[in-house]
């Protein structure tokens, strides 16, 4: 309940997560049938990067700040084109203010008629901010409820047979990886046609690897893992990298994800940035 993402919005981890999220939404949009997205840890949707909280860390300057400093027509930014165009459009709509779109806002802008977004946020103040942001949009519903309880209560979606479950915890609890194994298993049981994407931090290698082994032990298959590390994971006191584990990924998403991460490697970090795309368990 103490975690506030505004301190970290737009950092390298957000860039990785949101660029891949945009690609997942693009894949869902290739079919005409409706899709639904459940965002279990939605936050406030939009983040003011000029706020005292964001400026207190300045993390965004080494993330989205670096990418926005590049000319939009930079040739090797092609894999990031759609996501960066969305970020620039949001800022333009807010009169050039440094406003960064979180995952709910990114999803909202990908919705077509018939598609829907369900957001869950437990922090009272953040939940109210999210309701204000989406109060006039019938395609979006906001729930003040626990994320893991929501995976059971809100799946399968009522409005679509396809979609995405995005699970992006703050990792404040020691049990987070254990809880995620249960959440992924439950989400896939209740919504077998859906994509499940789980963001996780990399401070050192052991916790994510134990997470993967636990998923394998409960019989999960078709698991694609993508990671971006800005430094070797040697200091567990630092956020050295992050990953996105995707269950039931779109066709050839390993190739698309690799291109996105390779591009981010060129511009984020201080020369030690590396990416990894691996199948934890094939289909």
- C-alpha–C-alpha distance, residues 65 and 175, integer Å: 33
Beta strands in 15-81 (DSSP E): 35-39, 46-48
235 is catalytic: no
Choice among 14, 115, 126, 168 that is catalytic: 168
- C-alpha–C-alpha distance, residues 57 and 84, integer Å: 22
Tell me whether residue 93 is exposed, middle or buried, using C-beta atoms within 10 angstroms of its C-beta: 0 to 12, 13 to 18, 19 or more: exposed
Residue 8, token pair as written in the block: 């970290």
Residue 56: count of CB within 10 angstroms of its CB: 10
C-alpha triplet 185, 238, 229: angle, nearest 5°: 65
* DSSP state at residue 97: -
CA distances to 108, 127, 141, 147, 248 from 1, in Å = 25, 12, 21, 12, 30
Positions marked catalytic:
168
């Amino acid at each position: 309940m103490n975690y506030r993402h505004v301190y970290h919005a737009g950092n390298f981890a957000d860039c990785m997560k949101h660029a891949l999220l945009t690609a997942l939404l693009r894949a869902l949009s290739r079919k005409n049938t409706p899709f639904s997205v459940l965002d279990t840890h939605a936050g406030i949707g939009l983040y003011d990067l000029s706020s005292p909280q964001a400026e207190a860390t300045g993390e965004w300057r080494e993330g989205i700040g670096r990418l926005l400093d590049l000319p939009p027509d930079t040739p090797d930014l092609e894999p990031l084109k759609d996501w960066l165009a969305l970020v620039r459009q949001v800022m333009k709509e807010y009169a050039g203010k440094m406003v960064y779109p979180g995952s709910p806002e990114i999803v909202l802008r990908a919705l077509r008629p018939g598609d829907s977004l369900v957001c869950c946020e437990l922090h009272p103040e953040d939940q109210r901010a999210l309701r204000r942001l989406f109060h006039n949009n019938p395609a979006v519903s906001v729930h003040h409820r626990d994320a893991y309880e929501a995976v059971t209560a809100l799946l399968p979606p009522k409005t679509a047979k396809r979609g995405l479950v995005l699970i992006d915890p703050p990792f404040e609890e020691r049990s987070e990886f254990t809880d995620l194994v249960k959440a992924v298993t439950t989400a896939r049981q209740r919504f077998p046609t859906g994509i499940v994407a789980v963001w996780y931090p990399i401070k050192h290698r052991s916790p994510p690897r134990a997470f993967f082994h636990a998923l394998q032990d409960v019989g999960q298959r078709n698991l694609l893992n993508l990671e971006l590390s800005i430094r070797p994971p040697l200091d567990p006191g630092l956020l050295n990298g992050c990953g996105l584990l995707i269950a039931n990924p779109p066709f050839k998403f390993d190739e698309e994800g690799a291109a996105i991460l390779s591009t981010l490697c060129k511009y984020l970090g201080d020369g030690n940035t590396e990416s990894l795309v691996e199948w934890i368990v094939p289909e």
